[in-house]
């Protein structure tokens, strides 16, 4: 008997196509088309109303009113802000989530209720949460300000949202607050998959608590930490509402990240320059992710 003839690679792909088609259409429509449109928009000239005025070449990037060269925009500071924003928010979120997950993994009374409470910030809309913080931080009517003044921490109410630098750090705080639930749950899922018998075996072999944690639990958490970190990086990098709502200072102030700057450009310079910065932003985002992958190597086998 001759072995059955091996079908060609192409034929195989072709046969798989009907099953892949919906996904491919989705990717083409939702990912590829907007990206191509954005790249095209970035090379066109628009007035601030959004009326197209022919080709712009690279003017939207580096022309007199280009994304990277528009006068009075503190570009280096904004790039630095973006890096600080992503690293600080993601790092603190991960550390706090690790602690929280550890705690929630221990059996105790009321654990279910506590787990529910911790997931709440995730269940409410980011815009709503941030708006509540914004109201609370208003100098004349804000409850947080009132609390800080009444407890004597502040002498007088402070306009946290009226100054780009303080608004930025308040935004960092809120971003951590809204990122915690998802991250905690991802890590908690990882913790629950650590097999008990390995830990018991280590215990029998004489490993103490610290050794058991750093030599066994932590390495096993690597995949879930990697997922949590990567999704957080992308999410935080693109987070517009938190910074936008909390920073009430208008114009090209020092509280922007590249993502909020895109919005500022869209209003003042039109969609061409905004798209140009979106492309730069995209490249920048990839660099941040690449650095993360290179430094942390989260996909390395344990």
Q: Which of residues 152-171 bind another protein (CB under 8 A)?
A: 159, 161-163
- Which of 252, 256, 257, 276 binds another protein (CB under 8 A)? It is 252
> Applying CB under 8 A, does 86 fall inside the site for another protein?
no
Of 35, 78, 128, 186, the one binding another protein by CB under 8 A? 35
Instruction: Kindly tell me which of 71 and 110 has the beta carbon lying closer to another protein.
Output: 71
Least distance from another protein to the Cβ atom of residue 41, Å: 9
In contact, 220 and 190? CB cutoff 8 Å: yes
Name the nearest CA neighbour of 66 among 283, 281, 276, 279: 276
Question: With binding defined as CB under 8 A, does residue 285 bind another protein?
Answer: yes
Is residue 30 a contact residue for another protein (CB under 8 A)?
yes
* Residue of 2, 106, 140, 295 that binds another protein (CB under 8 A): 140
Interface with another protein includes 51 (CB under 8 A)? yes
Contact call for residue 79 and another protein (CB under 8 A): no
Question: CA-to-CA distance for 184 and 191, rounded, in angstroms?
Answer: 10
Q: Please enumerate in sequence order all residues whose Cβ is within 8 A of that of 302, keeping only pairs 6 or more positions apart, or say none.
A: 219, 220, 222
Q: What angle (nearest 5°) sits at the alpha carbon of residue 257, between those of residues 255 and 262?
A: 115
CB 99 within 8 A of CB 92: no
Choices 24-32, 77-85, 120-128, 182-190; region in contact with another protein by CB under 8 A: 24-32
- Axis-axis angle for helices 164-192, 218-237 (nearest 10): 140
For 36, the token pair is 């191509």
Short-list 78, 181, 72, 208, CA closest to 126: 181
Binding of another protein by 278 (CB under 8 A): yes
- Minimum CB separation from another protein for residue 204, in Å? 35
Is 57 near another protein (CB under 8 A)?
A: no
Q: Rule CB under 8 A: is residue 291 a binding residue for another protein? A: no
Burial class (CB in 10 A: 0-12, 13-18, 19+), 72: exposed
Q: Provide, rounded to whole angstroms, the least separation between the CB of residue 11 and another protein.
A: 19
What is the widest separation between alpha-carbon atoms in the chain?
93
Residue list 202-241, contact with another protein (CB under 8 A): 230-231, 234-235, 237-238, 240
Does position 88 interact with another protein (CB under 8 A)? The reply is no
Dihedral sign from CA coordinates of 158, 162, 166, 172: positive
Measured from the Cβ of residue 258, the count of other Cβ atoms closer than 10 Å reads 23
19 binds another protein (CB under 8 A): no
Identify the H or E element spanning 44: strand 44-46
Residues forming contacts to another protein in the complex (CB under 8 A) are 27, 30-31, 34-35, 38, 47-51, 64-65, 70-72, 139-140, 159, 161-163, 230-231, 234-235, 237-238, 240, 248-253, 259, 262, 264, 266-271, 278, 281-282, 285-286, 289, 293, 299
């Amino acid at each position: 008997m001759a072995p059955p003839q091996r079908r060609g690679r192409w034929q195989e792909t072709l046969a798989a196509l009907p099953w892949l088609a919906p996904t491919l259409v989705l990717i083409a429509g939702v990912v590829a088309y907007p990206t191509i449109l954005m790249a095209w928009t970035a090379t066109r000239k628009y007035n601030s109303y959004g009326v197209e005025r022919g080709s712009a070449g690279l003017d939207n990037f580096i022309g007199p009113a280009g994304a990277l060269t528009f006068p009075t925009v503190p570009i280096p500071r904004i790039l630095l802000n973006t890096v600080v924003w992503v690293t600080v928010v993601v790092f603190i979120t991960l550390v706090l989530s690790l602690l929280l997950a550890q705690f929630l993994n221990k059996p105790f009374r009321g654990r279910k209720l506590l787990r529910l409470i911790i997931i709440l910030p995730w269940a409410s809309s980011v815009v709503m949460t941030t708006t509540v913080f914004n109201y609370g931080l208003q100098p004349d009517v804000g409850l947080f300000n009132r609390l800080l003044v009444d407890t004597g921490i502040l002498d007088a109410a402070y306009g946290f949202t009226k100054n780009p630098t303080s608004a930025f750090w308040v935004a960092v705080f809120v971003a951590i607050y809204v990122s915690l639930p998802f991250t905690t749950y991802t890590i908690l899922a990882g913790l629950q998959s650590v097999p008990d018998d390995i830990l018991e075996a280590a215990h029998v072999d004489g490993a103490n608590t610290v050794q058991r944690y750093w030599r066994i639990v932590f390495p096993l958490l690597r995949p879930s930490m990697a997922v949590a970190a990567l999704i957080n990086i992308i999410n935080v990098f693109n987070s517009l509402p938190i910074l936008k709502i909390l920073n009430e200072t208008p114009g090209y102030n020092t509280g922007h990240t590249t993502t909020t700057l895109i919005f500022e450009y869209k209003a003042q310079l039109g969609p061409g320059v905004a798209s140009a910065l979106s492309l730069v932003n995209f490249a920048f985002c990839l660099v941040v992710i690449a650095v993360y992958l290179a430094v942390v190597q989260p996909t390395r086998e344990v």
